[in-house]
Structure 1
C-alpha cells in the first residue's frame, strides 16, 4: 500500500483522455467520428491504428436503445468478435475474441478482474454515453484485466457554449406475446449548458421492468434475470476552463440495477430440453436474501488537462475512486447443512483508488511525424467475495500496482504508420490467512474446508507491442500487429477452490497473452470493407473441471491457443439507406490436453446486419438481424449428459425493427420491436451452460413505445 500511496501523491491524478467534442485538438467535429482515444490514451485517427477497432456512434446507440436498453445486446449486435448477448444481467460467456475484455467508463475500469463476476458491461445507462470504443486483442495499455481487449464507454460531454439545452424521454416496454404484468416504464432526462468558463452536464434515468416473457408467453427464469428489475443511473460532469489550454473536470456516476420480485423458478433439465421458467409462488418459496444485481456502484473522477504544457507536449492527469457491490442470486450450491446453511448468496465487493498521468509529445520532421506517449499509472484494488450470511468465500485481495509505459508512433510520408511500446508493471497482491468454505451440492457431496496461509505475492511483468499499417491506397490499407497483455485476473476463483494449505503453492502466476493480428481495410466510394485474422496464446489459461467427489468446479491452469477471423462491410447504398454487416468466428483449445475450450470462453459463429433507412426528413427506420451458428465440440459423459460449459449450441436468428417520427423540431415519437417474428430459441449461453438454472429461453416478441422532448 505504501508504494501505491506514494505514487498517488506524486502523480496526484491519472491519465485517460476521453473523447471531448469541445476539446482543443486538431480534429474537427466531423472528423471526430474517425477519431479514437482508447487504443493509445490520446486522440488519434482510426486510419493510424494498426489494429481492429469498432466505434459505436451516438446514432447507433440511440437506434438500439429503442429496441433494447441493455448494453450487452447493443455490443453483441455491433461488435464483431464479441460473443452473443446472454439476454440477462450477466455477461458470463460474452467474451471478446475468446478472452475477457476490460470494461471502462472514460478509461476508469469497471470490471473486477481479481474476482471476475462477469457483470462489468452493465455499469452505465446508454443514455449517458456519447460513443463506445472497442479495441480488440490482448493489451496492457490500461493494466490488468484486458486479456481480450477494451470496451470503453465514452460519456457525453458538458458544453460550454450557447444556451442550456436538454431532453426528456419516456417509454414503456412490454411483451407482445402476453401483455399481462409485462409492461414496464422508463424515463430519462438530461440538461447541458455553461456559463462563462464553467460547463455542466446532468443526466438521470430510471427504469422499472415488468416480467419478461418468452415466445410462448411464459416468464423467463430468474437466474441473472431482468424481470421486475429496477434500474437507476445518475451521472454528472462539471468542467471549468482556466484558459484555452487548461481544463479541470469532475464526474460522478451512480448505478444500481436490482431484481425485486415475488416470482420463483420452475427449474427444468437442459439435458432433456426442459426450460427453466418463473411463476408466482408463496413467500416461503421465493428466493431468500437480498435482490440480485449492482447494489449502488459509484465512480468519482477528477481530471486535469493541459493541451499546451510545452510547445509540443500535452498532459492529462486524473484521479479516480470507485466502489462496487454486485449481489448474486441465492444458490443452494452454497449450502452447508451441518452449520445450518441451506444455501448462500455472494457479493463481489471492490474498492479502487487509482491515478494516471499521461504525456503526449509530438515532433514534426520532413516527411515524418513522431509521437511519444508516456506516463505512470498507480492503482490500489481491494476485492473480496463474502456471502451475505457473513461467511467468507473469497478473502480480501489487496492489490498495489505501479506501472510506467512508453508508446511511440511514427507516421512516414503520411501513409506508413509504425507503432511500438513497452509497459513495465509491478504488482503486490496481499492475502491474509483464511479458510476455504465447506460447500455441499448434496448431503454426501461436499468440499473439504482447508486453512490456507496467506502471503504477499509479487508480480513483475514487462509487456511489449508493435504494429505497422500501410495506407497504400483507400482501396487497400493492410496492417499487422503484435501485442502482449499481463493478466492476473480471477485470482479469487483460485483462492476459494484451494486444495493446498499455503497461498504460495496455489497456481496464481500471471498469464502473459501474446496476440497476433493481420488485416486490411478497403474503401471504395460508399463501400468499406474490414477483414482481420488473429491468434492469441497463453502459457497459463484458467478453465475448470467438475470434481464428482466434492461437487466443486476446480480451476485448471493450462496453456491455451485461441484463433479466429472477422469481417465488416459498411455500405451507403444511397444517402438515405445504409448497411452495416459483420461476421465473426472464434475457436480455441487447451493445447496441453488438445481439447477444445468451453463456452465460457469460445462462442459460436455470429453474423449481424443493420439496415438504417431515412425514409424522409421526419421518418427513420432501422432493421437489425442477428444469426448465431452451431458449435458442437463435445460429447456426453458416461451418464449420458453434457457437463459444465460444454453443451451443444444449435443455430438461431433474430430480427428487430425500430423507427422514429419527428413530430415537431422539439417532439419525436419512436417504437422498437425485439424478436419481430417471435422466434422460439435458447440463447447460446443457455444452450451451452449445463449449470442449474441457466436453461432459460430468449425473449419473445417485445415492443417499446416512447416519446422524446428536446429543448
Structure 2
C-alpha cells in the first residue's frame, strides 16, 4: 500500500475531527500541538498525516488558539506562545525582528501568501481577525512547497467552513480587557458575529469583527511606550469582514470562493517618551497628537478554487488568488527624508499587489512500484513599491516579481519506511524600471533591468514506523526567498549602478537538515527534533543610525532543537511542556567561515513553556501556563518568566472565558528591546492584564 492510500485511510479517521471544527466547538483540553490523527496541506500540497511527513509540522486547534487569545487578544502573542521557535512577540503592529527558527516565515490565509518579501515591512502577521480562523498549520523550517518566502517555515491560517449538515448556525462573541490599573485608557473591547449555512450542495460562512485595543501598562504601573513609526497595536481599532462560499457541482466536483478584508488602524492620541537604555529606564507614552497619516494595515485577500476528485485516475485542484496589501508607517524628520535640500516631515507606505494560480494533481501509480504522485505548476506575480505619502515620492521603485514553477513529488512505502522525494523548478524574473534614489542617497540615477533566476529546489526525506507509538524521521528541504529587494534598491548610494548587475538581488536559497522523532501512545505525546539551516548568500538585518534596517548579504548558519511532551494524568487533566533553542552565526568578513553570532533581530531566545490543563466538572476548566525565556550573555539578554491563567466556564448556550496575563505583574523589558532596541524602542512588556470573553451559538 503506498503513502497516498495511507492518506485516504487517515482522512477517514479524521473526518469526525474536521466536522467538529466546522461546527466551531471543539472540546479538547487545549494542547497547542496535535500530532495524530490530524492532517495538513501546507507542507505537502495535499492532505497528509503528520506522522508520514519527514519534517516538523504541527497544528494549532481552534480551541487552543481561542484559549490563548482569551489570555492575550494579540494574535502574534498567541502564536508565539504556541510555536516556541517563533520569536517572542514585540506586542506591536510591526513584526520586525520576529523570526521562525531564525529565518522569515511565510504567512498565508488558506494558502494565499500574506508576506511581502520584495519590501518586507514586517506587517504580515496582522491580516485577519483570529475569530475567522479554524486552525493554524505550522511547517517548521525551510519549505518550497508554497513558493517564495518560507525560508524559516510556513504559518497558514485556515479559515472557518460552512456547517457539515443542512441548517443555519450563528455565533457571537463579546469581550473586554483591562490592565490592573482599571483606568479608562487601559480598557479595550471586541465584538464578533458569524453565521454558517448549508442547504444541499450550497454552503456559506461569514463573519464580522470589531476590536478596540487600549493602551497597556507595565508591571510598575506606567504606560508602555507606543511605537508611532513602525506601528502599534495599542490605541488601535481593527475591523474584519469575511465570507466563504462552497458549491458541490456533483459528488466529485466542488467550487470554493473566499474573501477577507481586514483593516487595523492606530489612533493618533498618544506620543512616545523615549527611555534610557543605559540607565534601564523604559520608553513610556503620554497623551499627545501625532501628525501625519495614521499607521495602519489595509489588506484584502481573495481566492477561488476548483476541486475534482475523479479525473485522470487522480484528484485535481486549481486555486486562483489575489492579495491587495497596504501598510502605512508613522513619520518623522529623518535625514533619509531630505527634500529639495531641506529636512522635512514625511512617512512611507508599502503597497503590494499579488496574484497567482496553483495547480495540483494527485494520483496513485500502483502500476509503477506503488508510487504516490503529486505534481503541478504554480504561477505568481507580486508588484510592490514604497511611497512617501506626504511628498508623493517613491522610496522603493515599483518592482514586479514574476515566476512559474513546476514541481513533482513522489512517495513510496518500503516496509515500515515512507520515502518522500521532490523537486521544484523556480523560474523567476524581477522587473525594475529606471529610477532615481532619494536625495539622502545622492539622487543616484539607477538603470533598471530584468534579472532572472533559475533555481532547482529539492527535498528528500523518510519516516520510519519503529513501533506503533514511535516514528522517526529525517529530511533535507530547501526554501527560496528574496532578501528584501526594496531595502537593497532604495539604499543604492553610488553612481552608475545597474539593476541587472547588482549582486545583492540574488535570491536566498536555504538548505535545511532535520532529524527527529514522534511518540504517541494512550497517555503520552512527545516529539524531539534537531535541525541545521544554512545559506551561502543569506540575509541579515542591521539597523543604521536612524533605526532603519539595512540588509547584509552574508553566509549564515542556524541550528537548534525543539522538544514537546504532554502527559494525560487522568481523564480530566494533563500537563506538558515545550522547549525550543535556536542559535546562529554569519560570515561578516567574507572569508567563507561563519564567525559572528546573529543578534536578537534574527535569533529568538531559548525558552521553556510549561502548562497544566484541568477539567473540574460542571462545565469548568482551567489552564495554568508558564513561559521562561533563558538568559543570553552573547546577546545581552536577561531572561524572565511569565505566568498566565485561563478559566473557562460553560454558561447557557455558550462559554465564558476569563484570562489573566502576567499573573504576578512581572516588570520586564521585552527580548527585542533588550537585544537590539534603542532609547526610543526600549519597551517594557505588559503587566497584569485581565480579559473576559463570552461566546455563544444560536
Q: In the TM superposition, what are the counterparts of 1:272-671 in structure 2 within 5 Å?
A: 272-281=279-288, 286-294=289-297, 296-311=298-313, 313-333=314-334, 334-336=336-338, 339-364=341-366, 369-389=370-390, 390-413=392-415, 415-439=416-440, 447-500=441-494, 501-506=497-502, 507-545=504-542, 554-591=550-587, 593=589, 594-633=595-634, 648-664=636-652, 666-671=653-658
What is the alpha-carbon distance in structure 1 between the residues aligned to residue 583 and residue 11 of structure 2? 41
Alpha-carbon offset, residue 226 of structure 1: 2.0
In structure 1, C-alpha distance between the alignment counterparts of 2:212 and 2:548, rounded to whole Å: 36
Residue 672 (str. 1) matches residue 659 (str. 2): yes
> Which residue does 2:238 correspond to in 1?
231
| Inter-partner Cα distance in structure 2 for 1:394 and 1:87 | 27
Task: Give distance in 2, aligned partners of 1:183 and 1:551.
Answer: 31
Give 1:293 shift: 2.2
Runs of 5+ consecutive residues of structure 2 not aligned to the other structure? 1-7, 19-36, 590-594
Is structure 2 residue 687 aligned with structure 1 residue 700? yes
Task: Find the residue that maps to 1:74 and give its secondary structure.
Answer: helix
Runs of at least 5 residues in structure 1 that lack an aligned partner in the other structure = 1-21, 440-446, 635-647
Q: Secondary structure of 2:234's match?
A: coil
| Contact 1:419 1:467 (8 Å CA) reproduced | yes
- Counterpart pick for 2:275 among 248, 268, 279: 268
Q: Report deviation, 1:177.
A: 3.0
Distance 1:678 1:629 in 2: 19
Tell me if the contact between 1:540 and 1:558 (Cα under 8 Å) persists in the aligned partners.
yes
CA contact (8 A) 2:483 2:539 kept: no
Q: Report the alpha carbon displacement of residue 379 of structure 1 after superposing the two structures with TM.
A: 0.9
What secondary structure does 1:271 align onto?
coil
Counterpart of 2:248 in structure 1 is 241
- Give the deviation of 1:63 after TM superposition: 0.8
Aligned to 1:131: 135
Cα distance, 1:369 vs structure 2: 4.7
How far apart in 1 are the matches of 2:151 and 2:543? Answer: 24
Contact preservation (8 Å) 1:82, 1:96: yes
Counterpart-to-counterpart distance in 1, 2:455 and 2:512: 16
Count residues with an aligned counterpart.
660
- The residue that corresponds to 2:33 in the other structure is none
Deviations 1:9-57 (A, max 9, x none): xxxxxxxxxxxxx999544324655211111110111110111112101
Change (3 A) 1:356 1:511: same
What pairs up with 1:15-414 in 2 under 5 angstroms?
Answer: 26-30=12-16, 33-223=37-227, 224-281=231-288, 286-294=289-297, 296-311=298-313, 313-333=314-334, 334-336=336-338, 339-364=341-366, 369-389=370-390, 390-413=392-415
> Do 1:382 and 1:398's aligned partners in 2 also have CA atoms closer than 8 Å?
yes
Deviation at 1:319, TM superposition (A): 0.8
**Cα gap change, 1:658 to 1:411, in 2 (>3 Å):** same
Contact 2:542 2:550 in 1 (8 A): yes
Deviation readout 1:352-397 (Å, 9 max, x if unpaired): 111111001123479x752111001001110111111212111111
> Retained in 2: the 8 A contact 1:287–1:330?
no
Structure 1 residue 573, shift from structure 2 partner: 1.7
Q: Is the 8 A contact 1:177 1:215 kept in 2?
A: no
Asked if 2 retains the 8 angstrom alpha-carbon contact of 1:332 and 1:342, the reply is yes
**What's the CA shift for 1:216?**
2.2
Give secondary structure in 2 for the equivalent of 1:118: coil
1:98 positional shift: 0.5
* 1:93-116 CA distance string (max 9 Å, x none): 221111000000011000001111
8 Å CA contact retained: 2:10, 2:39: no
- Is the 1:668–1:709 contact (alpha carbons within 8 Å) kept by the matching residues of 2? yes
- For the 8 Å contact 1:230–1:259, the answer to whether it is kept is yes
* Structure 1 residues 142 and 335: alpha-carbon distance in aligned structure 2, compared to 1, 3 A threshold: same
Give the TM-score of the pair, scaled to structure 2.
0.91
- Cα distance in 2 between the residues matched to 1:599 and 1:68: 23
The structure-2 alpha-carbon separation of the partners of 1:552 and 1:345, relative to structure 1 and needing over 3 Å to count, comes to closer
Partner of 2:30: none
Inter-CA distance 262–31: structure 2 relative to 1 (3 Å threshold): closer
**What residue in structure 1 maps to residue 24 of structure 2?**
none
Decide whether the 8 Å contact of 1:138 with 1:149 is kept in 2. Answer: yes
Give the Cα separation in 2 of the matches to 1:393 and 1:297: 21
* Secondary structure of residue in 2 paired with 1:76: helix
> Structure 1, residues 400-455: CA drift from partner, whole Å, max 9, x if none?
11110001111234x3110000000111101111122234xxxxxxx433221111
Q: Deviations over 1:288-331 (max 9, x none)?
A: 2111120x2101111111111233x0111111111000111223
How big is the shift at 1:623?
Answer: 1.4
Tell me the CA shift for residue 655 of structure 1.
0.9
